[in-house]
Structure 1
């Protein structure tokens, strides 16, 4: 009886240790994913700002030039269509 209880205590101790290790690993993964998500969010904001800037430049060039610069949606399809 005493040996069975000792064996159960050892087994439960091992399980608790495994859960603690697993929890620590998951916390590390979550922290890494959170940092990655933050970096990606910053990159997306920078890319959106660059797209707005390029769009404004393209509109300015189109409005100022009058030289026939067209947006891709305004271009006629190529002859092979």
Structure 2
């Protein structure tokens, strides 16, 4: 092979690698975008659950629950 043929083959190989890398980057970008959406949704749900827990705590009496103080229903 001549040096021109070698250079053309190298250029073709590099173009193939760049095309593959661009496809991989695009795929990874889509995956990261989807993961970001899922994380944001989970953060919203987590915050909502935290608010619900805070609401439930505010409705509890100040005295901590002690099972020993409870009378069984059959008494």
Give the TM-score of the pair, scaled to structure 2.
Answer: 0.79
Aligned to 2:26: 31
What is the CA deviation profile of residues 8-56 of structure 1, one whole-angstrom value per residue up to 9, with x for unaligned ones? 1100010000000000000000001100110011011001001100000
Give 3-state SS (helix, strand or coil) of 2:45's partner: helix
Mapping of 1:1-81 within 5 angstroms? 7-66=2-61, 68=64
Say which structure, 1 or 2, has more relative contact order (CA 8 Å, 6+ apart). 1
CA distance in 1, matches of 2:43, 2:28: 22
CA distance in 2, matches of 1:42, 1:50: 12
Aligned to 2:70: none
RMSD, aligned CA: 1.6
- How many residue pairs get matched? 64
1:68 Cα deviation after fit:
3.9
Identify unmatched segments of 5+ residues in structure 1.
1-5, 70-81
